[in-house]
Amino acid sequence: MEKPEFDSHLLRTALAQLDRTALRLNLEPDIHERLRYPRRALVVSVPVLMDSGKTEVFQGYRVHHSTVLGPTKGGLRYAPDVNLGEVTALAMLMSWKCALIGLPYGGAKGGVSVDPHALSRRELEHLTRRYTAEIMLFIGPDLDIPAPDLGTDEQTMAWMMDTYSMTQGKSVPGVVTGKPLIVGGSAGRREATGRGIVYAVYHAAHRLGQNLQGLKVVVQGFGNVGSVAARLLWREGCVVVGVGDVRGAIWNPHGFDVRQLEAHVAESGSVAGFPGSEPLGNAELLERPCDILVPAAVGSQLREDNADRVRATIVAEGANGPTTPEADAVLRDRGVTVIPDILANAGGVIVSYFEWVQGLQYYFWRESEIVSRLQEVMTRAFSRVWALAAKEGTDLRTAALMEGVRRVAEGYRVRGLYP
């Protein structure tokens, strides 16, 4: 097994964002210093008996960035390039995101360095159960609550919940969110991130004097986040002109029928080859003319070398950390409105919070209630960030980070330093 790698683009981005924000907030150096480090990080090895009969060892992580505002919350990602630095950065982003929204959580993240598509269902189940057993002391309904992220889904959460519950001798639904409905999942959780993006885009467009009808949309990534964002924006009257996934991108200046596109993806496994579309490279997709660009795939997609060719007026970050600090500066200078990840994709953790609360009370809400509460929380957060950006004469990312970091810092300040 290789040693855990700490070096990561995303960690550099997250630290650069924190340092910039600390400066703007005039943060006390001792609190700033504490915020730069995760509270605790666990590295585990996850041995799995593969279908071939051989045992393979995967490396896994769970990082709690800050526990000052409550138990920690954040997704679990399965991807080949996951490392300790990336998981730490993502945990840090969860701290700002939860604080910005006003959820009673600190930030956490987990990851296993694995290509989930290369594993059979049995192998994935064993990997998930062994990983859960290895991080058992790190998670719990009032300690740290994982959820899906890149490469994981409802089934992953069901296996985690079952593994944890078996060791407790009872069902513990509150240990994870994003579970299947039948075992305590929430109505509307699956669509929540995509739906939250639509609210954010709606408000941004509205403030810029536009409504959604006829706006041209490009979505990079067609998983749980990108496909729902594309479908709901299309339903609101947007024209979805470009989409991409790991196997390729497609373009149609007249727009796609997103329902038919989803059926094509369900059948073939990719957007590529959708009838009536022009094939594109994924890099080119980001540079095509459109009004709204939704990077909803992996991190560091908008960089110094392509940011000046982005032709959207609004970028809504569905992914975590899709824009490097250099690209951010370029987009800012060019007047592109970037709705930052910690605001744009917060719908997921907002409905995770609803799921957790429902599970703790054994009382479940209707989908219409979830949707209207999500809309209310997103609208409030958007308005706060927009107003702060206007007051400070700054961009939305800076404002969102200022609000998120300020709240976490305030928690450190009032709680003080133990001992």
Nearer to ligand GLU, 313 or 345 (CB): 345
Residue nearest to ligand GLU (CB): 75
In the annotation, is 109 catalytic?
yes
Closest contact distance (angstroms) between CB of 161 and ligand GLU is: 14
Can you tell me which of 67, 95, 301, 352 binds ligand GLU, judged by CB under 6 A?
A: 352
- Rounded least distance, CB 254 to ligand GLU, Å: 33
Among the listed ranges 19-27, 54-62, 67-75, 262-270, the one in contact with ligand GLU (CB under 6 A) is 67-75
Q: Any contact of residue 88 with ligand GLU (CB under 6 A)?
A: no
To ligand GLU, the closest distance from the beta carbon of 348 in angstroms equals: 4
CB within 8 Å of 98: residues ≥ 6 apart: 69, 73, 104, 105, 106, 107, 349, 404
Please state the closest distance from residue 190 (CB atom) to ligand GLU, in A.
Answer: 11
Asked if 37 and 415 touch (Cβ cutoff 8 Å), the reply is: no
Q: Say which of 3, 54, 97, 109 is annotated catalytic.
A: 109
Q: Answer yes or no whether residue 186 interacts with ligand GLU by CB under 6 A.
A: no
**Measuring CA to CA, which residue among 371, 364, 350, 349 is closest to residue 183?**
364
Q: In terms of Cα–Cα distance, which of 91, 96, 32, 14 is closest to 399? A: 96
Binding mask 299-328 for ligand GLU (x = CB under 6 A): ---------------------x--------
How does strand 337-339 pair with strand 314-316?
Answer: parallel
Question: Sheet of 239-245: strands edge to edge?
Answer: 278-280, 248-251, 239-245, 216-220, 292-295, 314-316, 337-339
**Judged by CB under 6 A, which of 88, 156, 177, 252 binds ligand GLU?**
177
Query: Which listed residue (18, 48, 135, 147) binds ligand GLU by CB under 6 A?
Result: 147
Listed residue (228, 204, 378, 354) closest to 291, CA to CA: 204
On whether the CB atoms of residues 15 and 38 are closer than 8 A, the answer is no
73: contact with ligand GLU by CB under 6 A: yes
Determine, following the binding rule CB under 6 A, whether residue 349 of this chain makes contact with ligand GLU. yes
Q: How far is the CB of 96 from ligand GLU (least distance, A)?
A: 11
Judge whether 324 and 9 are in contact, CB under 8 Å.
yes
Give the Cβ contact number of residue 158 at 10 Å: 20
In angstroms, the CA 157 to CA 125 distance is 10
Region of residue 178 (left: phi > 0; alpha: psi -120 to 50; beta: else): left
Residue 75 or 221 with smaller CB distance to ligand GLU:
75
**Which window, 125-133, 323-331, 332-340, 346-354, contacts ligand GLU (CB under 6 A)?**
346-354
State which amino acid sits at residue 254. Answer: H
Q: Is 280 helix (H, G, I), strand (E, B) or coil?
A: strand
For residues 111 and 82, the answer to whether their CB atoms sit within 8 Å is yes
Q: Do 349 and 327 meet the contact criterion of CB atoms below 8 Å apart?
A: no
Question: Least distance (Å) from ligand GLU to the CB of residue 64?
Answer: 13
**Which of 75, 85, 111, 299 is the binder for ligand GLU (CB under 6 A)?**
75
Nearer to ligand GLU, 154 or 287 (CB): 154
CA 53 to the chain's CA centroid: 35
252 vs 290: CA distance, rounded Å: 12
Least distance (Å) between residue 143 CB and ligand GLU: 14
Among 248, 318, 348, 404, binds ligand GLU (CB under 6 A): 348
CB-wise, 66 or 345, nearer to ligand GLU? 345
278-280 and 292-295 strand pairing: unpaired
In the bound state with ligand GLU, the residue whose beta carbon lies nearer, of 149 and 154, is 149
Query: Quick one: which segment of 71-79, 242-250, 384-392, 401-409 binds ligand GLU (CB under 6 A)?
Result: 71-79
The answer to whether residue 74 forms part of the interface with ligand GLU (CB under 6 A) is yes
Residue placing its CB nearer to ligand GLU in the complex, 71 or 244 = 71
What sign does the dihedral 380-94-79-278 (CA atoms) show?
Answer: positive
154 counts as binding ligand GLU under rule CB under 6 A: no
Taking the least distance from each CB to ligand GLU, the nearer of 22 and 342 is 342
Q: In what order do the strands lie in the sheet with 55-64?
A: 40-49, 55-64, 106-113, 72-79, 144-148
The residue range among 157-165, 301-309, 321-329, 345-353 that interacts with ligand GLU, by the rule CB under 6 A, is 345-353
Question: Which residues are near ligand GLU by CB under 6 A?
Answer: 73-75, 147, 149, 177, 320, 345, 348-349, 352
Mind telling me the catalytic residues? 109
